[in-house]
Chains A and B, each alone.
Chain A
């Protein structure tokens, strides 16, 4: 299923054996003396070099090469709340390079389908504990001085199928409930000058205009710090899947708080306790009590190459290979990433590369000479807020396995001698069970 059949050594060898036969059969010009060492792909003029390409007006909104059609979002019934209107489409992060997600691949979580909002009918209404309640059209909103920021958005349920045991063998479903873009819009601290927030306002309700009328409470401190109303993603208008025409951006915080199709901001003196901050997006612990209002996405990392989808089956013993991955934290900037070859017993520092931005995906890299022996590869990030990615046992021993959200424990890959890569977990079940039972017993019965 996940065999990488492109250009694997084995494949090429097989192909070369048949070279003469196939080239002759195809009736191509065979240069005299074609040897088994010659790559047939280079020994003939390719089809696309012998004819005109597509006219430039063929695709006035461009699409990826048709050969890349397998690079797409994917879904799973078990990750839905009943149907594909309340579900999530996962981002193929195994196929991404750099730190920006193309807009068509950005992960997509919806609670009542993807609304198609008419921008001409779009209005934003701001009211509550403010001096001047305000109504803005889209054009008026876009008049405010804009800023652009690169931030990831991650659903707090990312990786939630791994609480009990590993269940997926593809990076897309292990960590694909996140993506990153350059967002453009206005900082709320700028826009709110026109509204005049009263000193009694401590909380803000942000509400979407879609079927779910998604509502979430945000503390005023975040609103005035780095929250934005954004209308563009990687240079173009937001995609409907990301909340066209306007969404709230609360950098580093739970994806769900970045309310899409934003219609209303109400300022108040108390938090609201919406469905998505009580029934959902709360973490039930072994004491029977749940953590509520856990806003930021914690420090995290994952190795993207190799991974189950991008194995080392084409490598030979002694080959030099780059191990790389993504690290991110909603609580600050990535300070460093450690990697381990023995499942987390011993660690060594990897290098960061490219842009290192606050609340953003950061690439890490390690050049490795593989001796062809099996290894367990793990990565562990830490940030400038002082937090370190936990082991599975550290996290479960405090949170249990029923919390669903905010699972940021270390991810490990088993690289086999044949180069196959599989999702594994390194954990101490006995210790976890003891800790859980202790917490269950310690909690008074309700």
Chain B
């Protein structure tokens, strides 16, 4: 029995070593796996004799009820208004059309302050173009001068449907759901052209019209870059199969107990601890009270909620408190500032993209100015 066990465990250890280059130790203990696995390869728990997973009691009356009958039937209109997604097979894509040229205009107005010129990033926000051919890069040693992979719409995203869906429902970040379908078509056309993605085998010119039919022909360069295959008929089963075998992702199913060889001790070379806010402290003392907390102020709060997404970042818009940035603006006079805040001014959308009453916008402008004098 003992001998047999040893044989089995050595065999398992070799299998793991082969898959993950782990060095098997002298004494590996196999961990018992369940006979039945759930869809995610997890142990499947059941209700038995009114107890779930052997620990939680459940009210067994519930499972016998056929219907509760709460709520109301959704109307077709309710479904239509709320069904805003676009699936990878294009289910849900609305009608509309646009051009890269119009897209560039919209991008300059709504997106460039965060995502940079030509989607190049540079302000801490996601990069929207480039990176093609970089996906195999692995930057294990930052001092090597190697480049990390750059994952963007063009280099990484498997479907253009996702781009349409996300721009339509998630962007621009400070006020999503504000673009028309035609706007979204234009922005998508522009972002595809920035990434040199072809439509129907042809490059997108500034004035190429992208409509529903054309967009649905777009095949993204990295469409085959993902596994397991979830789009197959029983795709979830492919995930289960993948997850059930730890070898697929470097997870052992044995415990090495003795003389294992995990490697050398690596200490911290460059710590990121300094950037932690608020600074770390395990002290038990009384907090220092800040006088005149800005958060008490109504306009400070409105600013936080409506303007800070842009005005909290120097790279995008003037930040209250940044005297240099505000001095020339304050010189223009309050009325100009009010006007620009209300009606919009270059990268500043009208009312910052909100529908706050004029009085509140003016109140926030006063607050911004008072912080910046």
Contacts and interface: CB of A to CB of B under 8 A. Distances in A.
Interface string A105-117: 0000001110000
B367 interface: no
Contact of B148 (A133, A310, A402): A402
A292 B227 contact: yes
A132 B276 contact: no
B82 A67 contact: no
Contact of B151 (A284, A310, A345, A376): A284
A249 B208 CA distance: 45
Contact of A211 (B176, B226, B263): B176
A397 B173 contact: no
Residues of B contacting A: mostly: loop
A81 interface: yes
A229 interface: no
B70 A164 contact: no
Interface in B107-141: 114, 123-126, 133, 135-141
Interface string A376-395: 10001011111111111111
B66 A331 contact: no
A345 B280 contact: no
A103 interface: no
Interface of B: 16, 19-22, 31-34, 37-45, 53, 55-56, 58-59, 61-63, 65-74, 78-79, 82-85, 87-89, 91, 114, 123-126, 133, 135-142, 148-149, 151, 153, 156-159, 161-162, 165-166, 169-170, 173, 176-177, 221-222, 225-228, 230-231, 234-236, 239, 242-243, 246-273, 275-287, 309, 312-313
Given A270-B87, A333-B43, A428-B263, A309 B280 contact: yes
B149 to A, nearest CB: 5
Contact of A335 (B31, B59, B227, B275): B31
A351 interface: no
B262 A275 contact: no
B71 A271 contact: no
A37 interface: no
Given A346-B259, A387-B246, A205 B264 contact: no
A193 interface: yes
Nearest to A333: B43
Contacts of B263: 391-393, 426-429, 431
Contacts, number: 451
A158 interface: no
B257 A400 contact: no
Contact of A193 (B42, B56, B68, B231): B68
B319 to A, nearest CB: 11
Nearest to A296: B40
Nearest to A217: B230
Interface stretch (A26-34, A70-78, A240-248, A363-371): A70-78
Given A76-B272, A83-B312, A263-B82, A402 B250 contact: no
A149 B56 contact: yes
A420 interface: no
Contacts of A145: 59, 61-62
Contacts of B65: 193
A372 interface: no
B251 A298 contact: yes
A291 B227 contact: yes
Contacts of A427: 262-264, 266
A70 B272 contact: no
A306 interface: no
Nearest to A150: B56
B226 A291 contact: yes
Given A126-B74, A219-B39, A427-B264, A270 B88 contact: yes
B21 A397 contact: yes
A125 B273 contact: no
B62 A83 contact: no
B286 A397 contact: no
Interface in A278-319: 278-279, 282, 284, 286-296, 298-299, 309-310
A35 interface: no
